[in-house]
Amino acid sequence: MATYNDDFTEIAHCGGQATFAVRCDEDGQMSIAAGFRGSSPTPMAMITVYATVPQGFPVSDVRMGGIGQAFEPPCPEGCMAVFLGSDSHGNWGHQCPRCHGYFRNGNHPAIYPLTCPYCGLKSHAFHFLTKAHARYIKHYISTYYEAIDADLKPGTEKEFIIDMDAIAKSGERENRPEFYYASESQQTRFNCQRCGEFNDIRGLYGYCASCGCRNNIAGLNEIFAQLRKGVVDKTTSPESVVSRAVSAFDASCRDMINQLKSRIPMKPARLKRLDRLIFHDVESTTIAEVKAAFEVDLLRGIDSQTVAFLRMMLERRHVYEHNAGVADERYVERSGDDSWRVGDLIRETEQNAHRLLSTLPIMAQNVHDDFHEIFPLTEWPVRYFEERTGRRKQKVWFRKEQSA
Ligand SMILES: [Zn+2]
Ligand SMILES: [Zn+2]
């Protein structure tokens, strides 16, 4: 049976019923009241957008006030308010209007902006409504028209219902109406370390859809914590920890550089050089190139002794990966380490593994900080969560467990 941890699995709509109550009073005057009722045991959240009538094009997000408070902004002429329910986890599926990437998160904000986790586009949340949402909005408006066209006798009333409950509960996949929308689980689910918001994205790394904060640091810290535990439990050899830590660091840095490449216009020659960057060699041109191109300074605040240690460990990674741990000429020449001769089997220490796991996060943080100076973060989600919860949300990072 599919579980929530599965990739690309449908998550049902939260259910509930959108209603249009039409009433014809004794004088023959017609009135209509739109509403929504829900009794689902699963989480349910509600948003409102304004859409044009009769076409059903969304034009604005709506901030719903409390009881008796007006919607903000006021409804534009030629539009009507449409209520949409979340998925049955209380989250929202979104699709980027630029890169078309699909993602879920815990908020469809009426406040600008929402951020695409994949391409970084910041835009109004209603721009991220999916095609399925658009079909529902059209159906909502056509049901409204059906209701106002109702032929009622004076003193009678009638309710028109869009029954999402019945469809969501039936579990029926075939023959269900086109206006039904559900969400789809992605691959990496995380609560943003900065604003606490839930995100579910394809792949591993991306921006928090709420505050725009890149999740690389949180992801790396999780990997490093597992590796650290492996050293302590003696379930992972120090050599393996070195290889895996550097590999994860390299992948995360290259992911950040790919974002810079795709978001900052540059000459083809620089693009080509950036394609070749690797982050597991202190001697390579990578660190200088990244600093010159973007003022991203990986080694900021790292003293020369630690740089020497990094040089040695990154060369050791090369030996563990490519020479079964046996020191070769390259190692002896480049590592600055004279404790091993060519042909010796390098014996890695737990102490070195721990030190490396403490040093790589400093470089990763440098990349993160400089990156977000270039691409500033959205402030309101942080305040929003502090106000709502009275504290910063607990840091959580989780993703689909790899099954054997
Ligand atoms: Zn995008
Ligand atoms: Zn965030």
Distance of CA 168 to the CA centre of its chain: 25
- Give the environment of ion ligand 1: residues with CB less than 5 A: 96, 98-99, 101, 116, 118-119, 121
**pLDDT(34) > 70:** yes
The pLDDT, as a whole number, for residue 3 is 56
Determine the distance separating the centroid of ligand 1 and the alpha carbon of 258, expressed in angstroms. Answer: 14
Q: How distant, in Å, are the alpha carbons of 2, 6, 85 from that of 9?
A: 7, 6, 19
Give the pLDDT confidence score for residue 398 in this predicted structure.
45
Task: Name the amino acid, one letter, at 168.
Answer: A
Spell out the domain ranges in the chain: 10-199, 215-376
Q: What is the pLDDT of residue 39?
A: 76
- Ligand closest to 383 (CA) is 2
Of all ligands present, the nearest one to the C-alpha of 102 is 1
**CA–centroid distance, residue 13 to ligand 2 (Å):** 24
CB atoms within 10 A of CB 361: 16
Please tell me the distance between residue 228's alpha carbon and the centre of ligand 1 in angstroms.
35
Q: What's the mean pLDDT in 165-186?
A: 86
CA–CA dist 287, 173 (Å, integer): 52
Instruction: Give the number of whichever ligand sits closest to the CA of residue 377.
Output: 2
- Contact in structure between 4 and 185 (CB atoms under 8 Å): yes
- What CA–CA distance (Å, rounded) separates 185 from 397? 16
Sheet with 102-105, edge to edge strand ranges: 92-95, 102-105, 198-201, 188-191, 396-399
Could you tell me what percent of the chain has a pLDDT over 70?
95
Please give the distance, rounded to the nearest whole angstrom, from the Cα atom of residue 110 to the centre of ligand 2: 16
For the entire predicted model, the pTM comes to 0.90
Q: What is the pLDDT of residues 102-158, one digit of tens each?
A: 999 999 999 999 999 999 999 999 999 999 999 999 999 999 999 999 999 999 999
Which residue, 305, 310, 340, is CA-closest to 323?
A: 340
**pLDDT reading at 400 higher than 70:** no
User: Which ligand is closest in space to the CA of residue 392?
Assistant: 2
CA of 324 to the centre of ligand 1 (A): 42
Ligand closest to the CA atom of residue 128: 1
Ligand 2 center from residue 214 Cα (angstroms): 8
Amino acid residing at 362? I
Ligand 1 centroid–CA 128 distance in Å is 9
Average pLDDT on 379-385 reads 89
Mean pLDDT of 85-96: 96
Can you give the pLDDT at residue 241? 98
The CA-atom distances, in angstroms, between 213 and each of 115, 118, 336, 368 are 9, 12, 37, 9
Q: What does DSSP say about strands 114-115 and 122-123: parallel, antiparallel, or unpaired?
A: antiparallel
For residue 168, name the pLDDT band (cuts at 50, 70, 90): confident
- CA-CA distance, 350 to 238, in Å (whole number)? 6
Query: Predicted confidence band at 201 (pLDDT cuts at 50, 70, 90)?
Result: very high
Q: Which ligand is nearest to the CA of 259?
A: 1
Residue 75 has pLDDT above 70, yes or no: yes
